[in-house]
Amino acid sequence: MGMKNRLIVILTTGILLLGQPVMAQTSEAVTDSVTLAVNDSTAQDSTLTTTVDDEALLAAADETDTEEGGFHKQLKTKFIDGNVGFMSLVALSLVLGLAFCIERILYLMMSEIKAKRLTDDIRKKLEENDVEGAKDLCRSTRGPVASVCYHGLLHIKQPMDAIERSITNFGGLQAANLEKGCSWIKLFIAMAPSLGFLGTVIGMVMAFDHIQSAGDIGPTIVAQGMKVALITTIFGIVVALILQLFYSYILSKIEKLTGDMEEAAIDLLDIIETYKQR
C-alpha cells in the first residue's frame, strides 16, 4: 500500500474515532437544550394559567424523555451492558474496516475512466502516425486502463506476441494493485463475529460464576451473563454485515475495472496490429 493510501486510511480512522465523542457531545447539548426549553415552557404555562392538568404534564414529560433518549442512548446503554472491553474491540474492528473500505472505494472511483473513449483517441493518434502523442495521452490519463495502454505502446516496435505477453503481465500487476487492502477488510469481517462469539463464551462463564457464587440458579442471577453473551454476538454479526456490504461493492468495482482493462487491451492489440500493417 502506497503512502497516499496509508494516509487516507489513517485520516479516515481518525475521523471515525473522533466523530463518536463529538456526536455524543452534540447529542447531550441538544438534549440539554430541549430539556431547558421544556422547563421554560412549563414554567410559562404555569404562570399564565393554573388550570393545567398535572397528570397531562407528567405524561408529556415522560414522552419527551423517551424521545430525547432515542437510538443513540439505547445504543450506548447496550454497548455498556455488553461488556465495554469486548464491545470496544468490536467497535474498533468496525472503524478500521470502514477506514480500509473508504480508502479502496475512493481509489477505485478515481481509477474509473471511459475506456472506449481512450482507445478511440489512441486509434486516431496512431492513424496520424503520432505514437508519442498516444503515449502522452495515456500518461496524462489516470487509472490502470491508461497504464496498460501506455505499457503496450512502449513495446509497439516489438512483435505482436511480445506485445500481447507484455500487456497480459502488466495487466495482472494492475489487477493486483486494485485488490490492495482487501485482505484487511476480509480480516475485520471475520474478526468482528469471532469477537462477538468470544464475548458469548465469556458471558456464559460469567453466568456460571454468578450461579456458583450465589448457590442458586434463579433467572436474575443468570440474566446478566446471558445479556453480555447475546449483546456481543449481535453487535459482532451487525459489524460483519456492514463490512460485507462495503466489501461486495468494492469487489463489483474491481470486476468492472478488470473488465475495462481486458477490453482496452484487446482493442489496443487490434489498433497496434492495424498500425503495423500500414
Q: What is the pLDDT of residues 234-251, one digit of tens each?
A: 888 889 999 999 999 999
Answer yes or no: do 132 and 59 share one domain.
no
Determine the Cα–Cα distance for residues 40 and 15; give it in Å rounded to an integer.
Answer: 36
Answer yes or no: do 55 and 110 share one domain.
no
What's the pLDDT at 7?
57
What's the pLDDT at 106?
93
Answer yes or no: do 17 and 115 share one domain.
no
pLDDT at 30 over 60: no
| Domain closes at, from 62, 81, 100 | 81
Domain count along the chain = 2
Which pLDDT tens digit goes with each residue over 69-103? 565 665 556 555 555 666 778 888 899 999 999 99
Instruction: Report whether 261 contacts 138 (CB < 8 A).
Output: no
Answer yes or no: do 76 and 88 share one domain.
no
What's the pLDDT at 56?
47
Question: To the nearest whole number, what is the mean pLDDT of the chain?
Answer: 74
Which pLDDT tens digit goes with each residue over 191-202? 888 887 777 777
Answer yes or no: do 138 and 221 share one domain.
yes
Give DSSP secondary structure letters for 57-75: HHHHHHHHHHHHHHHHHHH
| Domain closes at, from 26, 57, 81 | 81
Structure-block grid coordinates of residue 2: 502506497
Determine the Cα–Cα distance for residues 200 and 236; give it in Å rounded to an integer.
Answer: 10
**What residues make up the domain containing 271?**
84-278
Structure-block grid coordinates of residue 49: 394559567
| Sequence-distant (≥ 6) Cβ neighbours of residue 173 within 8 angstroms | none
E strands, the chain, in order: none
Structure-block grid coordinates of residue 32: 440539554
What's the pLDDT at 202?
74
Answer yes or no: do 121 and 66 share one domain.
no
Answer yes or no: do 130 and 226 share one domain.
yes
Answer yes or no: do 163 and 255 share one domain.
yes
Answer yes or no: do 110 and 166 share one domain.
yes
Determine the Cα–Cα distance for residues 225 and 65; give it in Å rounded to an integer.
Answer: 29
| Domain closes at, from 81, 100, 117 | 81
Please tell me the pTM assigned to this model. Answer: 0.68
Answer yes or no: do 68 and 89 share one domain.
no
Answer yes or no: do 114 and 159 share one domain.
yes
Given pLDDT bands bounded at 50, 70 and 90, which one contains residue 129? confident
Answer yes or no: do 95 and 187 share one domain.
yes
